């Protein structure tokens, strides 16, 4: 009788532990899927460092050309005024 009670208690305890592990594994899988979806969304909305540097360099190049044109314009005005 005592052995049967002990087997029942162990069976219930192991069943409960197995159920908890199964639930935790399912939750972990769900979180992994959500994390992957989040990574995909972040990649759609934000730019990489190299893209930002490329765009900034294009803007700086245009500003340099504009500065050269302004300098040339000022020199022309000075020569015309002299």
pLDDT at 42 over 90: no
DSSP string, the chain: -HHHHHHHHHHHHHHHHHHHHHHHHHHHHHHHHHHHHHHHHHHHHS--HHHHHHHHHHHHHHHHHHHHHHHHHHHHHHHHH-
- pTM score: 0.49
Residue 25: its pLDDT value, please? Answer: 98
Q: Which long-range contacts (CB under 8 A, 24 or more apart) does 79-82 make?
A: none
Alpha carbon 13 to its chain centroid, in Å, reads 42
Mean pLDDT of the chain: 93
């Amino acid at each position: 009788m005592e052995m049967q009670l002990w087997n029942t208690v162990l069976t219930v305890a192991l069943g409960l532990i197995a159920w908890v592990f199964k639930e935790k594994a399912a939750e972990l899988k769900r979180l992994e899927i959500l994390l992957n979806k989040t990574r995909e969304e972040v990649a759609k909305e934000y730019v990489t460092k190299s893209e930002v540097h490329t765009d900034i360099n294009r803007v700086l190049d245009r500003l340099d050309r504009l500065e050269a044109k302004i300098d040339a314009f000022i020199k022309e005005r000075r020569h015309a005024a002299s």
